[in-house]
Amino acid sequence: MLDIERRLWNDGYEHVAGLDEAGRGCLAGPVVAAAVVLPVGADIPAIRDSKSISEAQRLDAREQIEARAVTWAVGRCSPAEIDTLNILQAALQAMRRAAADLDPDPDYLLVDGNQWNRSLSEAPWPAETVVKGDATSQSIAAASIIAKTERDALMRRLAEEHPGYGWDSNVGYPTQQHYAAIREHGVTDWHRRSFKLHRSTSR
């Protein structure tokens, strides 16, 4: 998972940042992105695609990332921003915010997906997109772990303020319990009103 990074390190890029996001498919909560710069030559076996490992493994990997990363940062876009921009543009904006908060600054970005160059070509860093990057780039996988754990923790805190929606377990994703709670209690300020928040119960 370091082939891309090694190519860039060999080309003289020292601060290669992996970027990924979490929460695009949720009904509620922000979309959260992370940017992570690993040291040149780093190899951390615990870092894998966040979707392929357990929560306990993600939390363990996050500790290792925080301990060994040159720098890392998180960016968010609120539900209101998602409704205004659309979810794709909000996810890209969250990634850009995460990259902008890195210290030291990145000198190259590896962005999960295939949209960055076209949608945010004005961003001040050289970048390339990597389809399924969280499975092929350790830097992007590290960002996926930070973004996922950060967002899950946020949604569990919000669950205490808005009980009944199951955010402590579904973290805002569409589930039968979540749809039922919206029917019963209505929407909160954390719901994405541009999303389909009501699912038909008819067959």
b/e sequence 70-104, b meaning 16+ C-beta within 10 Å: bbbbbbbbbbebbeebebebbbbbbbbbbbbebee
The reply to whether 43 falls in a domain is: yes
The reply to whether 105 falls in a domain is: yes
**132-153 tens-digit pLDDT:** 999 999 999 999 999 999 999 9
The reply to whether 82 falls in a domain is: yes
The reply to whether 177 falls in a domain is: no
The reply to whether 180 falls in a domain is: no
Expressed as residue numbers, the domain containing 123 is 3-151
> Which domain CATH number covers 87?
3.30.420.10
Tell me how many domains the chain contains: 1
The reply to whether 44 falls in a domain is: yes
**84-135 tens-digit pLDDT:** 999 999 999 999 999 999 999 999 999 999 887 555 546 688 999 999 999 9
The reply to whether 28 falls in a domain is: yes
Residue 80 has pLDDT above 80, yes or no: yes
Q: In what order do the strands lie in the sheet with 71-77?
A: 71-77, 31-37, 16-22, 108-112, 127-130
- Residues whose CB is less than 8 angstroms from the CB of residue 192 and which lie 6 or more positions away in sequence, other chains included: 26, 27, 28, 79, 82, 83, 87
